[in-house]
Amino acid sequence: MFNVVLVEPEIPANTGNIGRTCVITGSRLHLVGPMGFDLTDKAVQRAGLAYWDSLDLRTYRNWDEFLTQNPSATAGLQSTEQSCVHLLTKHGARIYSDASYHDGDWLVFGKESSGLDAGLIAAHPQLCERIPMRSDQALGNADAWHESFSEHHPELERDICGNFVDRRAGQITSLNLSNAAAIVIYEALRQTGFAGVSGD
């Protein structure tokens, strides 16, 4: 079983999609607050998340509470050798598929608007992994995307896929959180021989 950790998730649809992926893969979902939405029974029913009762879910008020309640994740962050913690960030030097995954590992994703905390990344660069993506320059209409969003939705700061955009980074092409989580979860499952994805 893998532990999927969303730190301060902001978009409920992303969390819902990741929750569904966790259900069908037997992964546990950890939601670290503060979150940009609520998880009351009424909110879950209104969102039509029929599978939510089948989800192995843990919630935490903040990062410190998460670490306190999960000593193996804390130990993984402190490890100087092979760690069980994978920090998924665009700042990672290593590609996610080059990492080694083991049952019980922690797959940690940051919030949609800004990713994982810069201090966490700086303290553990050896644990940071990224999903390779094409740059904006590979798109013929990148300038049009920038102009359209600046003009029509400056308060949203999102790209055409609904992802938040970091204007300072000047990068609009990115996966949304639920796509990124699915890619990494399935690579971890492939490496550990999960039925149907091992290539056998």
Name the residue ranges covered by the structural domains of the chain: 3-133+175-191, 135-174
**Strand 56-60, strand 94-95: pairing:** unpaired
Tokens linked to 3: 């532990």
> Residue 64 — pLDDT band, cuts 50, 70, 90?
very high
107-118 b/e with 16+ CB inside 10 Å = b? bbbbbbeebbbe
Mean of the pLDDT values across residues 67-93? Answer: 90
Round the average pLDDT of the chain to a whole number and report it: 81
Q: Vertex 83, ends 134 and 105: CA angle to 5°?
A: 80
Mean of the pLDDT values across residues 12-27? Answer: 91
Q: Is the pTM higher than 0.75?
A: yes
Q: CATH says 3-133+175-191 is which class? A: alpha beta
Rg (CA), the chain: 17
The alpha carbon torsion through 11, 12, 15, 21 (nearest 10 deg) reads: -130
